[in-house]
Structure 1
């Protein structure tokens, strides 16, 4: 979605790196189409060969969290003199990027989508993106502001912040409390929220995350409970990405979401029994796919 929007700008050269050869070939042949929340076709240069990517001023990492390391290892050469922003789910992605590059941004985004067919992405939800310097190896605020301005100009509203941890943790808590519930039950977001016992569990998961954020002196950007209720209203039948992964029997991001909260809970002394249980259940579900019947 980021590449599709940015490629509409006349003064921005966009390269998209993806391992799916069919998707890459379709983009190069006919352009990248977005439908749903956004309706557009643009023409980024796509490749599954990282050696083709030239030196870039900015990078946006939007892979699943389990793919962060191999992705950034493959393309790091292009960003030696650039700044790279993660807009991924969970925690721990910026740390991996910072192992390879000197200037990193912490980002959070709410637009979500899925591939309908090679070269065609369905944008399921809209929303804002928040970006800011990653504290241990920060990009400059000038770089943050320039990237935010270009993204906003392209149609993806993006806010430049000196401290974007609050936005990141608000979404982290939202995702960790809702995505695995849908994945374990097979229910869309709104339907999950309408089941009283599930809604109580969701609130319990939220409470653990909020307690950790408070212990880390992170001021949340919003109330995760209000965000969950709002999502119920505007995306009642939305199947979260983790549910889509489970239906396709793909590895999920539970380790970066609930696992990340468990790790920070251990570091801050905040108990996380519900997040530990959800993490264990999701691990068990994923392991079940490896069994031979």
Structure 2
């Protein structure tokens, strides 16, 4: 039996989760459990399931979540004044999804981008102009959708945000405080760019190899040739990052192996996307590393090859942007 959570008195932030997939629903559950008012923007199956049975989180935590509303169209929320927006769609959907939110009341609401990969926040800023205060965040949570309205939590870890301007500080501080109250690491990170690149390099090393071979993360390390190729792929990205002036406190190759070992039984998200008939985020991971490599004069043959191979798999399977 899950813990029922939702509104606790009249306090709490009014938060819109734009992109109520696995990650968005997990954050909705965690924040609702701390007394915030959650609104979900998602696809029809999710909306219908939540309207009928509420949102259920299972796995490492068990929550039955009551939300204020679940809708398909942001125009249905045009009378709502939100304190905070969490943008949790896929990287390739972020700019379009953010643009659709301009029907909401103006007021430079903090909009936090929690996507994988590089360059997402720049695309979102171009799409919305000055209407929102766009900020980059990095999430190390893990979850997948078992069925509409039911999300299984597989990882509870840190949430890091770039330092906001003063006007955006109060709601973001309150949100991070709520995650901390749940026992999770949550903080502002002055050097968020380093965190974004570090996670991207890990994803670049693990995800495409798992997607192409169909192997679990741990199995990739058991094949010497794959282990070597993973290291070389990450090293390419490391060189690009160095050329851009980004320094890491940890060795990215060792970190990639460590993450693969810690998630040994997992099938990575890129493989799951291909299996489910969804477009992958390869353009924002290995593809982005290759683009930055071209701009900085750093050769990235492995990242370019992996991008082409995954794009080929997408084309062969006629995947859709869902």
Question: By the TM > 0.5 criterion, same fold?
Answer: yes
Number of the residue aligned with 1:126: 156
Structure 1, unmatched stretches of 5+, are: none
Q: How many angstroms does 1:250 deviate by?
A: 1.6
Question: SS of 2:85's equivalent?
Answer: strand
Show CA shifts across 1:100-129 (max 9, x none).
044111111111211101111011222211
Number of the residue aligned with 1:46: 70
Number of the residue aligned with 2:9: none
Structure 1 counterpart of 2:264, from 236, 244, 256: 236
Rounded Cα–Cα distance in structure 2 between residues aligned with 1:46 and 1:14: 9
- Asked if 1 retains the 8 angstrom alpha-carbon contact of 2:83 and 2:110, the reply is yes
- Asked if 2 retains the 8 angstrom alpha-carbon contact of 1:167 and 1:222, the reply is no
Matches within 5 A, 1:1-293: 1-10=26-35, 12-19=36-43, 21-44=44-67, 45-53=69-77, 54-78=80-104, 80-81=106-107, 82-99=109-126, 100=128, 101-133=131-163, 140-141=168-169, 144-154=172-182, 156-220=184-248, 222-290=250-318
Q: TM-score, normalization: structure 1? A: 0.90
| More deviation, 188-197/282-291 | 282-291
Show CA shifts across 1:39-69 (max 9, x none).
2221123211211222212111111112112
Q: How many angstroms does 1:141 deviate by?
A: 4.8
- Asked if 2 retains the 8 angstrom alpha-carbon contact of 1:5 and 1:155, the reply is no
Question: SS of 2:259's equivalent?
Answer: helix
Structure 2, unmatched stretches of 5+, are: 1-25
Rounded Cα–Cα distance in structure 2 between residues aligned with 1:4 and 1:227: 29
Q: TM-score, normalization: structure 2? A: 0.83
**Residues 159 and 215 from structure 1, CA distance in 2 versus in 1: closer, same or farther, beyond 3 angstroms?**
same
Rounded Cα–Cα distance in structure 2 between residues aligned with 1:223 and 1:80: 43
